[in-house]
Chain A
């Protein structure tokens, strides 16, 4: 992935598709509670989008756009997952007790449901993105 291709069509479509993919992955992540999706699939989809960018633009270019060390996302994601679980201790509940609340008449969004499970799913999401990218980049960059 060191060399970027000269394929103009691929580059142009990637600008479009990568963002659609990213948006779709965020949709999957957020919709997980009530529709197919969730942190795991969302994370994988995000990973796929980023991999596509790497394949099209090359390693150096994407590193410049996304200066993220994907390895650190693994512990961050795990930490979030553990902390949301431990958060239930504050309320005297067992580990990983989840709760949810419906908010009505929020401006712009209307009725929304806020669930602590989403925070946990965020941990899953970040971890999965970190894992996918770490594995693929490590192996791909190995000469």
Chain B
């Protein structure tokens, strides 16, 4: 299994080399080998009643993350779908994409996606699964935006990226919680100890995040909106990603964890409820579409909802039906996408209003579409596989386990909702087929003259339609060989189901007949009632919600950013100081840090008072002067006052340094400010001045309080005693300050002079460079 994941990735590295010869031989022919080989490899497991196979390769053993690969019935079914449909899609794309396209890019993305999907379905380790899960989002983003010169492609790619990555990150949250609760990263080990996880208080969060991940990926209501926009991708991509594989990753996830999740009644309520809503909403909206691929996109959404609902039912028959429909949907939807691609390719449009009467021009395509659409509609013909899964769906919807309380209401409503969704499914299926291939042909108005597709483009849908019929004729062949096995893996118990050709005259058949009858009626009268779409949903679509959210988040974030980042340094300083003041005050008052013991204070002498008063006077005067030179000179008074204080407090080195530095600074300021213009008259409003005053007084008060508090709380003996004692003995000097500077803390001094040196050279550089600029001008 490791090779199935690794092979496409390795081959993707080769593709750019091979695409150099794309004019001689289409790159797709080389790529075709990979999914075919993997398909053949996986087919060997079919039919055997094999016990699950597990392979382990170490990846990050310290975090307990191994590349655990696990092959049971469920992953085998998905593996076969991915490799089988993958091979057909690659084959189809050889004829669909012209050699002038960037084939190298296309096949690299496609192989990346294929490897990621194999990784998702085979992984047993949740973090490995998550890695591949995000790789599918990434490669799908690249594939949707393949024609990146189109605006629609970029929009669709971004939308699907945002929504699926949102879900992916929720999934990561679920997985992290799961690994914490279960203390393992292996899915099978988690399922084995489900009691422990169920009893965890975090279980609710795990379920919620897991559902978010699965519902966004599988385009469930209301996260379905990315799928119709993803139709901007090339049709092979739509056929592969958005019908058969990626959108079923969420289904796979729910199925994989259903042993664990289905223990609660909420599972039934959420999964079934969302599934049924998606089924009805998707099929209702599909009728409104005019684009062939748009119809198919909403159809996919609706069918995924149906599968999800069946997973939610959780009975043996429902799980079998879900698994059966995964296979059936992949076959008929894949073929229908390819048919839509052929129509687009051969007529130049996908707009169903312009198409019509193509049956005479494209008989083979029309035949293929006939089987595909009728199977999708669940027309009661025993040669179509869609009929069986729909019968099973109805059968399971009327045989639900009973639930307590108001959840029972959903159980009662389920069969009616199922029929309602199916009626609309029937309507859009008929609309899709008859609208495109029957009716009046207006060939002249089409961009191209229609003709039958080349045989290469027809082979993949022919194979898929053949599968539709083969599954329709011999459902038990598939059921017994691997579908039962897959369903058992979901249920965690043995499921033996034989699909009967004929259920007899029972309720499901009547439901099917009702669907066909009412569907036909609705289809024939559709011109009378489709006006309802203008009223409901009208313009109330979820796309508008999405656009509104994207638009608003951009707008509000720019409003918020601009509100404080206006480029004014004054404002930043104001905010910084206010934040520091408020933060420190909160800390001071909440931790009882404030203390005024006043026991260790010294006597205050008169000269000290005099000097301090002078400094305060000078400091206040600087605020109110409007002359620069005066401000500098008054500031000098503060500096010299400080030097005198140093003398008083017996710090001769500091006093000396302070004196000289103050002199030098004042001289430098005078030198620099000589060239500056006169100070402008300050024109701030009273409010600003008041704010500034409050902030500066608050900041000053804060510093004062912190100073007093820290002076009053001596928790340790000062280290200065040690310096005083050992200065002579260890440093050989009596000037303790100097011994500390050059000997005991010499490293500080070294870097301080380095700082000064850098400053001096920077000033030199700034002045000289400016002059050079002037000369250059």
Residues of A within 8 A of B (CB): 28, 32-41, 44-45, 47-48, 71, 74-75, 77-78, 81-82, 85, 95-96, 98-100, 113, 115, 117, 120-121, 123-124, 127-128, 130-132, 134-136, 138-140, 142
Residue with the highest number of chain B CB atoms closer than 10 Å, among A81, A95, A113: A81
B756, A127: Cβ atoms closer than 8 Å: yes
Residue with the highest number of chain B CB atoms closer than 10 Å, among A98, A113, A121, A130: A98
B346 contacts across to A, CB distance below 8 A? none
Give B727-777 interface residues, CB cut-off 8 Å to A.
731-735, 737-739, 741-743, 746-747, 749-750, 753-754, 756-757, 759-761, 763-764, 767-768, 771
B735 contacts across to A, CB distance below 8 A? 32-38
Given contacts A32-B738, A40-B657, A44-B661, 19 further A-B contacts (CB under 8 A): A28-B656, A33-B731, A36-B653, A71-B764, A77-B753, A78-B753, A81-B749, A85-B750, A95-B747, A96-B750, A117-B742, A120-B746, A123-B753, A127-B756, A131-B757, A135-B759, A135-B760, A139-B671, A139-B672
B668, A39: Cβ atoms closer than 8 Å: no
A34, B657: Cβ atoms closer than 8 Å: no
Q: Tell me, in angstroms, the Cα distance from A135 to B742 when the chains sit together.
A: 24
Cβ-based interface call for B697 (8 A): no
Residue with the highest number of chain A CB atoms closer than 10 Å, among B660, B754, B759, B760: B760
A134 contacts across to B, CB distance below 8 A? 760-761, 763-764
A124, B753: Cβ atoms closer than 8 Å: yes
Tally chain B residues at the interface, Cβ within 8 Å: 39
Cβ-based interface call for B664 (8 A): yes
Chain B proximity of A79: nearest CB distance (Å): 11
Residue of B663, B734, B749, B768 touching A33 (CB-CB under 8 A):
B734
Contact with A along B648-664 (1 / 0, CB 8 A): 00001100110011011
B746 contacts across to A, CB distance below 8 A? 85, 96, 98, 117, 120
A35 contacts across to B, CB distance below 8 A? 734-735
Q: Tell me, in angstroms, the Cα distance from A129 to B668 when the chains sit together.
A: 16
B734 contacts across to A, CB distance below 8 A? 33-35
Q: Tell me, in angstroms, the Cα distance from A127 to B754 when the chains sit together.
A: 8
Closest partner residue, chain B, to A45 (CB atom):
B660
List 18 interface pairs A-B (beta carbons < 8 Å), by A numbering.
A33-B739, A38-B742, A44-B657, A48-B663, A74-B757, A75-B757, A78-B753, A96-B747, A98-B743, A100-B731, A113-B732, A115-B733, A117-B733, A117-B743, A124-B749, A134-B763, A138-B768, A139-B767
Chain A interface, DSSP helix/strand/loop, else mixed: helix
B737 contacts across to A, CB distance below 8 A? 38
Known A-B contacts A117-B743, A139-B672; the reply to A128 vs B753 at CB < 8 A is: yes
A28 contacts across to B, CB distance below 8 A? 656
Q: Tell me, in angstroms, the Cα distance from A110 to B315 when the chains sit together.
A: 107
Q: Tell me, in angstroms, the Cα distance from A91 to B154 when the chains sit together.
A: 68
B759, A131: Cβ atoms closer than 8 Å: yes
Closest partner residue, chain B, to A41 (CB atom):
B656
B667 contacts across to A, CB distance below 8 A? 136
Chain A proximity of B648: nearest CB distance (Å): 15
Chain A proximity of B729: nearest CB distance (Å): 11
A33, B738: Cβ atoms closer than 8 Å: yes
Q: Tell me, in angstroms, the Cα distance from A36 to B741 when the chains sit together.
A: 12
Known A-B contacts A123-B753, A138-B764; the reply to A37 vs B653 at CB < 8 A is: yes
A120 contacts across to B, CB distance below 8 A? 742, 746, 749-750
Q: Tell me, in angstroms, the Cα distance from A140 to B663 when the chains sit together.
A: 16
Residue of A32, A98, A138 touching B767 (CB-CB under 8 A):
A138
Q: Tell me, in angstroms, the Cα distance from A44 to B747 when the chains sit together.
A: 20
Q: Tell me, in angstroms, the Cα distance from A130 to B663 when the chains sit together.
A: 17
A138 contacts across to B, CB distance below 8 A? 763-764, 767-768
B653 contacts across to A, CB distance below 8 A? 36-38, 41
A99 contacts across to B, CB distance below 8 A? 732
Known A-B contacts A36-B735, A39-B742, A41-B660; the reply to A139 vs B757 at CB < 8 A is: no
B739 contacts across to A, CB distance below 8 A? 33, 117
Closest partner residue, chain B, to A31 (CB atom):
B735
Closest partner residue, chain B, to A133 (CB atom):
B760
Chain A proximity of B655: nearest CB distance (Å): 8
A85 contacts across to B, CB distance below 8 A? 746-747, 750
Closest partner residue, chain A, to B741 (CB atom):
A38
B668, A135: Cβ atoms closer than 8 Å: yes
Known A-B contacts A131-B759, A139-B668; the reply to A36 vs B764 at CB < 8 A is: no
Q: Tell me, in angstroms, the Cα distance from A78 to B753 when the chains sit together.
A: 7
Chain A proximity of B742: nearest CB distance (Å): 4
Chain B proximity of A103: nearest CB distance (Å): 12
Chain B proximity of A9: nearest CB distance (Å): 21
Known A-B contacts A38-B735, A117-B739; the reply to A44 vs B750 at CB < 8 A is: no
A34 contacts across to B, CB distance below 8 A? 733-735
A142, B761: Cβ atoms closer than 8 Å: no
B661, A140: Cβ atoms closer than 8 Å: no
Q: Tell me, in angstroms, the Cα distance from A75 to B757 when the chains sit together.
A: 8
A48 contacts across to B, CB distance below 8 A? 660, 663-664
B756, A33: Cβ atoms closer than 8 Å: no
Chain B proximity of A138: nearest CB distance (Å): 5
Give B320-369 interface residues, CB cut-off 8 Å to A.
none
B761 contacts across to A, CB distance below 8 A? 71, 74, 134
Q: Tell me, in angstroms, the Cα distance from A48 to B663 when the chains sit together.
A: 10
B733, A131: Cβ atoms closer than 8 Å: no
B731 contacts across to A, CB distance below 8 A? 33, 98, 100, 115, 117
A142 contacts across to B, CB distance below 8 A? 767, 771
Residue of A32, A115, A130 touching B760 (CB-CB under 8 A):
A130
Closest partner residue, chain B, to A121 (CB atom):
B742
Q: Tell me, in angstroms, the Cα distance from A121 to B741 when the chains sit together.
A: 9
Q: Tell me, in angstroms, the Cα distance from A116 to B265 when the chains sit together.
A: 82
Residue of B657, B747, B757, B759 touching A41 (CB-CB under 8 A):
B657
A139 contacts across to B, CB distance below 8 A? 668, 671-672, 763, 767
Top 3 closest A-B pairs, CB basis? A100-B732, A33-B733, A36-B652
Closest partner residue, chain A, to B732 (CB atom):
A100
Q: Tell me, in angstroms, the Cα distance from A99 to B763 when the chains sit together.
A: 36
Known A-B contacts A71-B764, A85-B750, A135-B760; the reply to A44 vs B660 at CB < 8 A is: yes
A98 contacts across to B, CB distance below 8 A? 731, 742-743, 746
Q: Tell me, in angstroms, the Cα distance from A71 to B763 when the chains sit together.
A: 11
B747 contacts across to A, CB distance below 8 A? 85, 95-96
Closest partner residue, chain B, to A102 (CB atom):
B732
Closest partner residue, chain A, to B755 (CB atom):
A131
Q: Tell me, in angstroms, the Cα distance from A30 to B657 when the chains sit together.
A: 16
Q: Tell me, in angstroms, the Cα distance from A79 to B762 when the chains sit together.
A: 19
Contact with A along B46-60 (1 / 0, CB 8 A): 000000000000000
A75 contacts across to B, CB distance below 8 A? 757
Q: Tell me, in angstroms, the Cα distance from A40 to B328 when the chains sit together.
A: 87
B732, A78: Cβ atoms closer than 8 Å: no
Chain B proximity of A118: nearest CB distance (Å): 8
B763 contacts across to A, CB distance below 8 A? 134-135, 138-139
A37, B738: Cβ atoms closer than 8 Å: yes
B760 contacts across to A, CB distance below 8 A? 71, 74, 130-131, 134-135
A78, B668: Cβ atoms closer than 8 Å: no
Give B606-664 interface residues, CB cut-off 8 Å to A.
652-653, 656-657, 660-661, 663-664
Closest partner residue, chain B, to A139 (CB atom):
B671
A78 contacts across to B, CB distance below 8 A? 750, 753-754, 757
